[in-house]
Amino acid sequence: MAAVSHRVFSGVQPTGNLHLGNYLGAITRFVALQETHECIYCVVDLHAITTWQEPAELTKNIREVTAAFIASGIDPDKHIVFNQSQVVEHAELAWMFNCVARMGWLNRMTQFKEKAGKHRENASVGLFAYPALMAADILAYRATHVPVGEDQKQHLELTRDIAQKFNVDFAASIASHGYDETFFPLPEPLITGPATRVMSLRDGAKKMSKSDPSDLSRINLTDDADTIAKKIRKAKTDPEPLPSETEGLADRPEADNLVGIFSALNDQTAAQTLSHYGGGQFSEFKADLANLAVEKLSPIAGEMSRLLADPAHIDTILCDGADRARAITSPILRQVRDVIGLIQRS
């Protein structure tokens, strides 16, 4: 079976504090791709548990990411929305990929180093093997395109390495079963748009992140208007006025970040933003940015809370999505078992 020509897969972890970086770097891209591609969007709960999650919070966060997808404009009828643990093929293929990926490859992953920090020995085995599960998420669908933020680029490269090694290691078996020699496609990362790396509001050198202990560092999708305005007012800046040209943003990470956020939310280039605000003070720019952020995010927060009031409906959407997802992964995994040489029920 040849790969579908354009199939998009991506996921978001239900680890709480869904923020503007997740929204601009990933979810808005997910929405746009629906027009042109067959899309599969996953709440990656198995990734979330690579670090400890309080069980009731995890359940709540799975529903919250689902609500954020739908409130942002993802259509679960036309495309597939589900949570990863309901499609067992993800975990099965991940195990097979654990046996294909090399320790040296995983040792180079910067996200593991950052997340494990100085306490590597205490990190879960799952956190180390996380990129093999991500490769399985994508390749269980033979997805060809993966919209992600800049931080996931290295994991996507590893996915391509795993696909390539599998295709080579099992080339003879793939051929003997009559399968396409490109058994797994090498998926392309789609790291596009004006905000592929939204930075912390408190430190322009750190990415905006769910796990940052300071809530002032990020705008959460569920923040109310006053909280958004307060966080933008308190966002770190420098004493200089805004530059008139984009070149003037070099070496000014906080200014660069706020201009990037404004431009992404207003669907315009940084040059267009600076042509209006260049030479002005941050106070006026921040007031307009706060209004813009509230205008764009409040309807999403409102729709999320409406959806979350009916958890049974969200769970039905996830179960239905999982059934449709399994209809794709189940025959692909049958082929994988064949190729590896495993005996299975016919």
Footprint of ligand AQP (CB under 6 A): 12-13, 15, 21-22, 25-26, 148-149, 151-152, 196-198, 207-211
Catalytic residue among 60, 153, 165, 210: 210
Residue of 250, 262, 210, 218 whose CA lies nearest to 236: 218
- Dist. CA 188–CA 144, nearest whole Å: 6
CB 255, min distance to ligand AQP, A: 17
- Dist. CA 122–CA 124, nearest whole Å: 6
CB 29, min distance to ligand AQP, A: 8
- Dist. CA 215–CA 158, nearest whole Å: 32
* Residue facing ligand AQP at closest CB distance: 25
Q: DSSP string spanning 21-62?
A: HHIIIIIHHHHHHTTTSEEEEEE-HHHHTTS---HHHHHHHH
With DSSP H G I counted as helix, E B as strand and the rest as coil, what are the percentages for the chain, rounded to 5?
60, 10, 35
CB 63, min distance to ligand AQP, A: 15
- Comparing CB distances to ligand AQP, the nearer of 22 and 237 is 22
- Comparing CB distances to ligand AQP, the nearer of 25 and 204 is 25
Tell me how far the alpha carbon of residue 171 is from its chain's centroid.
31
- Dist. CA 114–CA 51, nearest whole Å: 13
- Comparing CB distances to ligand AQP, the nearer of 108 and 210 is 210
Can 206 be counted among the known catalytic residues? no
- Dist. CA 240–CA 32, nearest whole Å: 36
- Comparing CB distances to ligand AQP, the nearer of 38 and 45 is 45
- Dist. CA 165–CA 220, nearest whole Å: 39
- Comparing CB distances to ligand AQP, the nearer of 108 and 334 is 108
Counting beta carbons within 10 angstroms of the beta carbon of residue 102, is it exposed (0 to 12), middle (13 to 18) or buried (19 or more)? exposed
CB 28, min distance to ligand AQP, A: 10
CB 123, min distance to ligand AQP, A: 13
Catalytic residue among 60, 115, 165, 236: 115
Can 118 be counted among the known catalytic residues? no
Catalytic residue among 207, 231, 286, 296: 207
Instruction: Please name the amino acid found at residue 8.
Output: V
Can 207 be counted among the known catalytic residues? yes
CB 14, min distance to ligand AQP, A: 8
Instruction: Please name the amino acid found at residue 260.
Output: G
- Comparing CB distances to ligand AQP, the nearer of 10 and 329 is 10
Q: Which residues are catalytic?
A: 115, 207, 210
